Amino acid sequence: MRASRLVITIDGPSGAGKSTLARLLALRLGIPYLDTGALYRTVAAEVIRRRIDIEDDDQLESLCRNLDIRIQWIEDRLLVLSSGRDVSQEIRSERVGQMASCISAKAAVRRALLGLQRQIVAKNGAILEGRDTGTVVAPDAHVKFYLDARAEERGLRRFRELQEQGMDVQLESVIRSMYQRDRQDRERDLAPLRPAPDAVLIDTTDKSIADVMEEMIRHVRKRIHVEV
Ligand code: DC
């Protein structure tokens, strides 16, 4: 099989190591990587900017009908444009993350982003990273992973990630916000965070990125005949 047609999904809660591993795996396999959370975050940023009432279905529907989100990798930086406006930096804040978790429970939002994600995948295959990529977006993916880690470790990773991005954050509030977001993502009715029945489960606590990467590559080789 040509790697360019591959679809691999990586789901799990925040801080489990999904983004780092998705990026590395995509580089190794030479296929695009889609950070699906960036799409939800972009909708959230628009909701905040336009002061949309998320309990008002008409307002939300109208926003979703007029979305114009474009994403592009420039070397290892993800450029996200919303109606031509660069939101790459803005979407990484905790406030936007929290709002992304709230609006991701809404049917209009999930419907709009589902179509967009499937269009992107249909072009060249992809490594999809998110919460429902193995269960809903690409249920026929060739290989599915579900990454998880102990909550304290996930909180610490998330804290360091935000610090590296130059954000002024407090460990306690990052952990609190992570717990809240995880609960919302797991308990929502639509496409809740959970492993697909055929997903490979990997606990990344106390494991190096390199070790998890090799474990994932082993599974990819086992499931499909591809040179990696
Ligand atoms: O991965 P992230 O932290 O950037 O995602 C932000 C929020 O977007 C997350 O809390 C829930 C939502 N999301 C989703 O519902 N489904 C996805 N496939 C990806 C993200």
**Which domains, and CATH codes, for the chain?**
3-223 (3.40.50.300)
**DSSP-assigned letter for residue 133:** I
Percent of the chain at pLDDT exceeding 90: 81
Quickly count: other Cβ atoms within 10 Å of residue 3's Cβ.
16
CA distances, 138 to each of 141, 144, 193 (Å): 5, 9, 14
Q: What is the mean pLDDT of the chain?
A: 93
Determine the Cα angle at 58 with ends 53 and 59, to 5°.
40
Pick the range with the lowest mean pLDDT from 82-96, 101-115, 141-155, 214-228. 214-228
The answer for residues whose C-beta is within 8 angstroms of residue 75's C-beta and 6 or more apart is none
- Residue 46, SS3 per DSSP: helix
The pLDDT tens digits for 97-141 are 999 999 999 999 999 999 999 998 998 889 999 999 999 999 999
Taking the alpha carbons of 22, 26, 31, 33 in that order, is the dihedral positive or negative?
Answer: positive
Please determine, for residue 4, whether its predicted confidence score (pLDDT) is greater than 60: no
d(CA 123, CA 145): 21
Ligand 1 neighbour 106 (Cβ under 6 A)? no
**DSSP-assigned letter for residue 38:** H
Q: Which atom of ligand 1 is nearest to the CA of 19?
A: 1
Q: What is the pLDDT of residue 26?
A: 92
Ligand 1 neighbour 129 (Cβ under 6 A)? no
Report how far ligand 1's centroid is from the alpha carbon of 1 (Å): 30
Ligand 1 neighbour 9 (Cβ under 6 A)? no
The pLDDT tens digits for 73-92 are 887 789 999 999 999 999 99
**H or E, element range at 130:** strand 126-130
The answer for residues whose C-beta is within 8 angstroms of residue 60's C-beta and 6 or more apart is 47, 52, 54, 103, 106, 108, 109
Backbone angles phi, psi at 123, to 5 degrees: -65, -60
pLDDT: which is higher, 122 or 225? 122
Report how far ligand 1's centroid is from the alpha carbon of 227 (Å): 31
Ligand 1 neighbour 220 (Cβ under 6 A)? no
Ligand 1 neighbour 130 (Cβ under 6 A)? yes
Ligand 1 neighbour 39 (Cβ under 6 A)? no
d(CA 133, CA 36): 8
Please determine, for residue 227, whether its predicted confidence score (pLDDT) is greater than 70: no
Ligand 1 neighbour 14 (Cβ under 6 A)? yes
Q: Give, rounded to a whole angstrom, the gap between the first and last alpha carbons of the chain.
A: 12
Determine the Cα angle at 37 with ends 131 and 133, to 5°.
35
Quickly state the pLDDT bin for 165 (edges 50, 70, 90).
confident
Q: Which atom of ligand 1 is nearest to the CA of 188?
A: 15
